Amino acid sequence: MSEYVVELKNATKVFPGVIALNHMQLAVKPGEILGLIGENGAGKSTLIKVLTGVYQADEGEIYVNGEKKEFKNPNDSAAAGIACVYQELNIEKLLSVTDNIFINKWIHKGLLLDYNAMHKKAKEVMLSLGQDVDPTKAAGTFGMGIQQMIEIAKAVLIDAKMIIMDEPTSSLGEKEVEQLMKTCRELKSRGIGIVFVSHKLEELFELCDRVTVIRDGEYIDTRPIDQWDNDSLIRAMVGRTVDNQFPKEFGEKGECFLKVEDLTVGGVLDHVSFEAYGGQILGFSGLVGAGRTETARAIFGADPVDGGKIFIKGKEVHIKSPKQAIDAGIALLTEDRKGSGLVLAESIRTNLILSSLSRHSTGWFLDDGKIEESGQGHINTLRIKTPSIYEIVGQLSGGNQQKVVIGKWLNADTEIYIFDEPTRGIDVGAKVEVYNVMNDLVKRGKCVIMISSEMPEILGMSDRVIVMRGGRVMAEVERGSKNFNQEDLMKAAWGGKLDE
């Protein structure tokens, strides 16, 4: 019997023109939580897909409980006891919790389905994961945290020996993350091995027994958690020391560019008021669901508003559509670049000019000269890695896609830039480049609003921070004030009062 529940040895996977995995290895003990980290593009996704049978490795072996296995498809992997909770959940929102859990594993009573038994079992499984929910209700009526638990319940139900969690906390609020960690520990105590993929180091330190680092498709190192620290993990991931994660530069504080008064959206925003100045980055902190994105969308005219006033440079504006917002000098980089930021099937060229078509036209026609020039300029300054501006955006990596969205908004040349989670899901190098774009904007006197769920990013980049909770502004903290620290911002986000 092997020491490991699942062991991947010497796996190599080659795609046309690229070696995605190069003699990769991964070993998970029963009843342990193994952290798996690497920059974007390190090969995590490919590694997961090889383990779940979505891809077949060109070389290498997989052992489950010491027995050599071959996964021709995801069913083989599932039959061997490997389950994966993907970042993008496979939940049928209109079907009940029970239907979601028992999909393809129905309990029958004669020819019919035995819903009584299934509801009962579903309730039990969810309870064992710490969730007391009504299994007859539609899955979509629950939050992301519970939807994720439904996925985990599926894994538990097939008696998974190992569960891979692919960035499970990226879409969860603080409280849901805590519940998830509790559940992970519970699964661990049942002897299940967990592979926990995360971009958040604190989570790894809190949860994991060991951490494996991979880079550029290669295995780098695995150590027990107490033999890692922040610096050594980052060094292992990037192969170099990141001296300054946040290259903060300061602009000159200008006039009040944006003043929001009592912005209200029924059930979502409750009299949100704040001011944002030129030459500054205003950070928006808070838990997921605090109403930050909704505030941005309401200001931008993307969603209807029920009340409140908006002033731009002292003049009241009535913005009813994104077009009016852009004309008034506001840009919004949305948090979901694939869903609402890019036209994936179109070229970089088209995406870059989408918010500034008239500026790139001469008379009735688009001006190829202008488009080429500005497009090439963005590729150079933003360092978009691509052979040409005619490449299809859907084929770029996440970081490069995000740079295209940023380029689109730089083209709009507005006064106020709202960046909603601008560095989500992109690698460290691309993050720094995004920060530099923001630096550049404030130095040019523009007003930047940055919504971020990463506390270090908020503290590293903001000149001032607004903390929201439950659709309301909880606190406003100036950089350099005594409250400008992680603990106090967190306290405000949880509803605590800050002493002035």
**Footprint on this chain of other proteins (rule: CB under 8 A):** 15-18, 20, 40-41, 43, 45-46, 300, 302, 321-323, 325-327, 332, 334, 339-347, 350, 353-355, 357-358, 360-361, 364-366, 390-392, 394-397, 400, 408, 412
Nearer to other proteins (CB atom), residue 182 or residue 385: 385
Nearer to other proteins (CB atom), residue 20 or residue 133: 20
Q: Distance of alpha carbon 314 from its chain centroid, rounded?
A: 35
CB 479 to other proteins: min, Å: 30
Nearer to other proteins (CB atom), residue 29 or residue 337: 337
Nearer to other proteins (CB atom), residue 362 or residue 376: 362
CB 107 to other proteins: min, Å: 34
Beta bridge partners of 64: 6, 67
CB 20 to other proteins: min, Å: 6
Beta pairing, strands 472-478 & 464-469: antiparallel
* DSSP code of residue 464: E
Nearer to other proteins (CB atom), residue 383 or residue 479: 383
Q: Where are the beta strands (DSSP E) in 232-321?
A: 256-265, 269-277, 281-286, 307-312, 315-317
CB 337 to other proteins: min, Å: 9
Nearer to other proteins (CB atom), residue 272 or residue 353: 353
- Cα separation, 8 vs 494, in Å, equals 42
- Cα separation, 137 vs 459, in Å, equals 40
- Cα separation, 236 vs 37, in Å, equals 10
Nearer to other proteins (CB atom), residue 242 or residue 302: 302
CB 308 to other proteins: min, Å: 20
Residue 59 backbone dihedrals phi, psi, to 5 degrees: -135, 165
- Cα separation, 42 vs 65, in Å, equals 27
CB 198 to other proteins: min, Å: 18
Q: Is the dihedral of CA 249, 312, 416, 446 positive or negative?
A: negative
The kind and range of the H/E element at 230 are helix 230-238
CB 150 within 8 A of CB 91: yes
Q: List all residues 6 or more positions away from 192 whose beta carbon is below 8 Å from its beta carbon.
A: 30, 31, 160, 161, 162, 163
Q: List all residues 6 or more positions away from 387 whose beta carbon is below 8 Å from its beta carbon.
A: none
- Cα separation, 374 vs 407, in Å, equals 9
CB 56 to other proteins: min, Å: 13
- Beta carbons within 10 angstroms of residue 18's beta carbon: 10
CB 423 to other proteins: min, Å: 18
Nearer to other proteins (CB atom), residue 106 or residue 390: 390
CB 314 to other proteins: min, Å: 23
3-state secondary structure of 79: helix
3-state secondary structure of 215: strand
Nearer to other proteins (CB atom), residue 322 or residue 377: 322
